[in-house]
Amino acid sequence: MKRLFLKALAVTVAAAALASAHAQTKTIKFANQNAKGHPIVRGMEKFAELVEARSGGKLRVNVFPGGVLGSDQANLSALQGGTLEMASMNSGIFASLVKDFAIYDFPFLFANSREADTVVDGSFGKGLHAKLEERGIVGLAYYELGFRNITNSKRPIQKVEDLAGLKLRVIPNPINIDWVSALGANPTPLPFPELYAALEQKAVDGQENPVATINGAKFYEVQQHLVLTNHQYNPQSVVVGKKFWDGLSADEKKILQEAADESARYQREQARASVTSTLESLKKHGMQVTELPPAEVAKMRERMKPVIAKHSVSVGEATVSSMMAELDNLRK
């Protein structure tokens, strides 16, 4: 009888310990708009691996790609409300909370990836993330979506004038609407999860995104023409809802921060290494790829200048001056 009692007690203690362990495990939902296999999602998966390993399984990260948890704006509200723990989204989207972030959507801001890395990883990028905290968001690191290019189903784009009249989907914010208008095209703001259907149904003629996104979303099925413009570079902020963040211990915060930094380096390497092979894949799927001549790129830049001047006022002269000073130093 005593042996049976001790055995039952041991089972009870083990069950209680298991229940306690489960109770202590924190689950993190990590959302993004891109399809599984996209370099952003691979970065998120790397983050999940690092966090689980370094926390001994006490922090578990579930990655939700493809917009399954809603649009970026829905994710933003959920982060602030505490119903979503993490997301990665275009940094420019945060301009709805902190106007300074609109600078990341300035056309032709960065000449290359090195300039982008130096700015976002340095005091400028960290300073912008710090401004999100009073709006209920904590910025950990920057992934990259990369340099954006234009696709359409109507015609090849060989000069700026070829864009005239095209209905182009844009990220729903003022600067993107303005620069598309400046090129003579018709901007159509749409959340990303709605884009494929809009292209398929010819509600819009085209869109603009980095090649990895064009490939991952299978836009080649509904778009025939791709022109390499590299007109805009998108950093992607890796963010945590402050309500969730404030409930973490110092050790847990350290694990998330270090995993975000490490996965950001990994993610950018993945994104950059895949550009050439992704372009080849798009061609194999039937896309006609053209490149704007230097004279046409110069014309495009010229048309963007009034847009940049207009939005420099709303972003704030101090933020614009700080960014330009950093870029000037790099270019010297």
Question: In sequence order, what DSSP letters do the residues of 235-295 get, joined into one string?
Answer: EEEEEEEHHHHTTS-HHHHHHHHHHHHHHHHHHHHHHHHTHHHHHHHHHHTT-EEEE--HH
Encode pLDDT of 33-84 as tens digits.
999 999 999 999 999 999 999 999 999 999 999 999 999 999 999 999 999 9
What pLDDT digit, counting tens, does each position of 219-260 carry?
999 999 999 999 999 999 999 999 999 999 999 999 999 999
| Phi-psi label, residue 148: left if phi above 0, alpha if psi -120 to 50, beta otherwise | beta
What are the pLDDT digits (tens) for 110-125? 999 999 999 999 999 9
Residue 22's domain spans which residues? Answer: 11-331
3 occurs within a structural domain: no
Kindly give the interhelix angle for 174-182 and 294-315, rounded to the nearest 10 degrees: 150
Rounded to 10 deg, the angle between the 113-121 and 123-130 helix axes is 50
pLDDT at 21: 44
Report strand pairing: 233-241 vs 137-147: antiparallel
Task: Specify the CATH number for the domain of residue 224.
Answer: 3.40.190.170
Does 168 reside within a domain? yes
In a domain, 98, yes or no: yes
Residue 116 within any structural domain of the chain: yes
Is 281 within a domain? Answer: yes
Whether 6 is in a domain gets the answer: no
Structurally, how many domains does the chain consist of? Answer: 1
Please check whether residue 2 lies inside any domain of the structure: no
Asked if the structure places residue 4 within a domain, the reply is no
* Residue 105: closest CA among 67, 145, 66: 145
Bridge-partner residues for 168, per DSSP? 187, 206
